[in-house]
């Protein structure tokens, strides 16, 4: 997708529908109308999530000598988030549409020009009702019918009617005047209605702790963490001392984060509850910039390994003025989602800002003592911060294919196939006896299932024709189907040598091959990691 704004709504709708139909992702509390910005992973989604997190953890923690894991608490002391700047600082400027009550990010409204119609109120002569209140509507297109502004204004004033039987069109508008407006941002681009003044909207979820907690006790206030990073900074000294590690070293964490996003959107992309996979990599100041570039390269190769195409990944070198004030370098890794090119991960060089702030606010020394040089200093930090749910969404979007297998003159045949890499696929192998009414086939198939089950997630299916069962597995991305047939039982004349072999059908090529049951486990293990 060359264009950053190019979108494919149709494709995205199909993906969202497949996710629900097949049990990857459901809306939270759907039967009660849904909890906006929250999602539940179904049986297959939970497997994909586990696979991704396990892989990330293995590559970034277990296979490295210089990175240690952490699993911090979600409830966070307000002092931590005051020091980090989140309390009082982690907010978006928001304004509301006076007509529809839609909430908009004030800093994302495109400037508009046009003629503004101003009114001072409205009345209803027959009932004697009136309202005294200023309101304006912007017409931002040339030669727009001015009655459109009046209609919008009547709809606005009608909200104040006590007698809801009176139709908006019966209202008389008061004190009409106009003005020419240039590049203004206080009108709703959707309907021209005036917006409220921008107000800061707190993005953190606040809660009270303890049975006797009351609103006036500052120590009872806690927050659901808005990022996993802060517990890493706060525990950096404990981790360092308990493990006796030397710079450079990292602390990695996977866990939930919560942000009261104003407009959760694009399926799971912008959620209110989501998971992050973050590393804080502590280093000497002179190594920070180099390590930032090295981490960027590592993270790109991780995405390649899990199956995101290189051409769909884009690196943005965030320019001066757009980065956080303490960051000398920040890269955003973006992916071509069907709804446009959007951020997957940030790799930021944060200097000594975070540890410095926690040292200042806690009064506890967070310096590192270099035994060789005898220097004492606050380490610098490079932070690769990835979204787990966003990566899963990218993997699902990447995997989704529709193949037209229609034969000439035949009925339309579209094969939906999720081309997950085997390491990510929720089911690694499906075990399919050819016929369910042949006890010997069923028994053998169950034996194969029992052989594989302790080592991988497998699925046993004996319903429907084998072709249909293959297609069902394609739709959920199972890389290998194992068919147990008469040859497996040694019952095919002239093919007795195929006894105790099975057919393996490959998801992507749909090719089939025969493998001895005794070779099956190592054959699969080699291919699913």
- Range 79-138, binding ligand GAP (CB under 6 A): none
The C-alpha atoms of residue 15 and residue 441 are separated, in whole angstroms, by: 36
| Cβ-contact 307, 74 below 8 angstroms | no
| Cβ-contact 24, 18 below 8 angstroms | yes
Tell me the residue nearest to ligand GAP as measured from the CB: 387
Tell me the CB-side half-sphere exposure of residue 435, using CA atoms within 13 A: 9
Asked if 420 is part of the footprint of ligand GAP (rule: CB under 6 A), the reply reads no
Q: Is 373 helix (H, G, I), strand (E, B) or coil?
A: coil
The C-alpha atoms of residue 515 and residue 496 are separated, in whole angstroms, by: 14
In whole angstroms, how close is the CB of 157 to ligand GAP at the nearest point? 37
Q: Which is nearer to ligand GAP, 86 or 444 (CB)?
A: 86
In whole angstroms, how close is the CB of 72 to ligand GAP at the nearest point? 13
Asked if 343 is part of the footprint of ligand GAP (rule: CB under 6 A), the reply reads yes
Asked if 270 is part of the footprint of ligand GAP (rule: CB under 6 A), the reply reads yes
The contacts of residue 382 (CB under 8 Å, 6+ apart) are 280, 281, 283, 288, 291, 292, 295, 347, 348, 349, 350
Q: Which is nearer to ligand GAP, 351 or 433 (CB)?
A: 351
Asked if 390 is part of the footprint of ligand GAP (rule: CB under 6 A), the reply reads yes
Task: End-to-end CA distance of the chain: give it in Å, rounded.
Answer: 29
In whole angstroms, how close is the CB of 324 to ligand GAP at the nearest point? 9
Quick one: which segment of 74-82, 84-92, 119-127, 382-390 binds ligand GAP (CB under 6 A)? 382-390
Asked if 229 is part of the footprint of ligand GAP (rule: CB under 6 A), the reply reads yes
Asked if 253 is part of the footprint of ligand GAP (rule: CB under 6 A), the reply reads no
In whole angstroms, how close is the CB of 471 to ligand GAP at the nearest point? 32
| Cβ-contact 368, 378 below 8 angstroms | yes
Q: Which is nearer to ligand GAP, 237 or 270 (CB)?
A: 270
- Per CB under 6 A, the list member of 76, 188, 276, 478 interacting with ligand GAP is 276
Cis peptide before 469 (omega within 30 of 0): no
Quick one: which segment of 58-66, 113-121, 270-278, 443-451 binds ligand GAP (CB under 6 A)? 270-278
The contacts of residue 259 (CB under 8 Å, 6+ apart) are 203, 204, 205, 226, 272, 274
Q: Which is nearer to ligand GAP, 352 or 487 (CB)?
A: 352
Residues in binding contact with ligand GAP, number by CB under 6 A = 19
In whole angstroms, how close is the CB of 436 to ligand GAP at the nearest point? 43
In whole angstroms, how close is the CB of 375 to ligand GAP at the nearest point? 28
DSSP, res 406: P
- Per CB under 6 A, the list member of 45, 198, 338, 346 interacting with ligand GAP is 346
| Cβ-contact 192, 138 below 8 angstroms | yes
**Residues 237, 239, 240: CA angle, nearest 5 degrees:** 65
> Among 95, 104, 96, 177, which Cα is nearest to 136's?
177
Residues making contact with ligand GAP (CB under 6 A): 227, 229, 259, 261, 270-271, 274, 276, 278, 343-346, 383, 385-387, 389-390
């Amino acid at each position: 997708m060359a264009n950053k704004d190019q979108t494919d709504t149709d494709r995205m709708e199909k993906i969202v529908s497949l996710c629900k139909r097949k049990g990857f992702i459901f809306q939270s509390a759907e039967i009660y109308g849904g909890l906006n910005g929250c999602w539940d992973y179904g049986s297959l989604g939970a497997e994909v999530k586990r696979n991704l997190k396990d892989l990330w953890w293995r590559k970034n923690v277990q296979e490295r000598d210089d990175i240690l894991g952490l699993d911090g608490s979600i409830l966070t002391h307000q002092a931590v988030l005051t020091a980090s700047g989140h309390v009082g600082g982690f907010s978006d400027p928001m304004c509301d549409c006076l007509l529809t009550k839609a909430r908009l990010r004030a800093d994302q409204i495109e400037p508009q020009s046009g003629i503004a119609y101003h009114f001072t109120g409205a009345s209803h002569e027959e009932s004697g009702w009136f309202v005294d209140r200023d309101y304006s509507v912007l017409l931002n297109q040339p030669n727009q019918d001015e009655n459109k502004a009046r209609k919008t204004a009547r709809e606005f004033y009608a909200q104040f009617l006590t007698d809801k039987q009176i139709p908006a069109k019966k209202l008389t508008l008061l004190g009409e005047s106009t003005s020419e407006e240039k590049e203004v941002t206080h009108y709703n681009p959707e309907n021209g209605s005036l917006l409220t003044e921008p107000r800061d909207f707190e993005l953190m979820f606040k809660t009270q702790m303890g049975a006797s907690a009351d609103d006036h006790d500052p120590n009872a206030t806690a927050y659901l963490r808005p990022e996993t990073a802060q517990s890493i900074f706060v525990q950096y000294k404990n981790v360092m001392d308990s493990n006796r590690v030397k710079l450079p070293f990292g602390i990695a964490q996977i866990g939930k984060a919560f942000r009261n996003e104003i407009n959760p959107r694009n399926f799971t992309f912008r959620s209110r509850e989501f998971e992050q996979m973050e590393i804080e990599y502590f280093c000497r100041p002179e190594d920070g910039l180099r390590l930032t570039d090295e981490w960027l390269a590592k993270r790109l190769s991780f995405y390649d390994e899990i199956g995101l195409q290189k051409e769909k990944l884009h690196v943005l070198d965030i320019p001066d003025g757009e980065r956080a004030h303490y960051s000398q370098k920040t890269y955003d890794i973006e992916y071509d989602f069907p709804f446009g090119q959007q951020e997957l991960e940030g790799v930021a060089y944060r200097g000594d800002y975070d540890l410095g702030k926690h040292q200042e606010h806690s009064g506890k020394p967070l310096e590192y003592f270099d035994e060789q040089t005898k220097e004492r200093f606050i380490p610098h930090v490079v932070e690769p911060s990835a979204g787990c749910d966003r990566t899963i969404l990218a993997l699902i979007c990447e995997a989704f294919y529709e193949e037209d297998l229609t034969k000439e003159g035949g009925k339309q045949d579209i094969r939906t196939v999720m081309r997950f890499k085997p390491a990510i696929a929720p089911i690694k192998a499906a075990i399919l006896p050819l016929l369910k009414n042949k006890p010997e086939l069923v028994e053998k198939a169950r034996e194969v299932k029992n052989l594989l089950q302790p080592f991988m997630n497998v699925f046993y299916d004996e319903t429907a024709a084998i072709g249909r069962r293959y297609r069902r597995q394609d739709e959920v991305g199972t890389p290998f189907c194992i068919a147990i047939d008469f040859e497996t039982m040694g019952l095919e004349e002239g093919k007795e040598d195929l006894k105790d072999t099975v057919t393996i059908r490959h998801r992507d090529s749909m090719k089939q091959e025969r493998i001895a049951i005794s070779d099956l486990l190592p054959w699969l293990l080699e291919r699913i990691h």
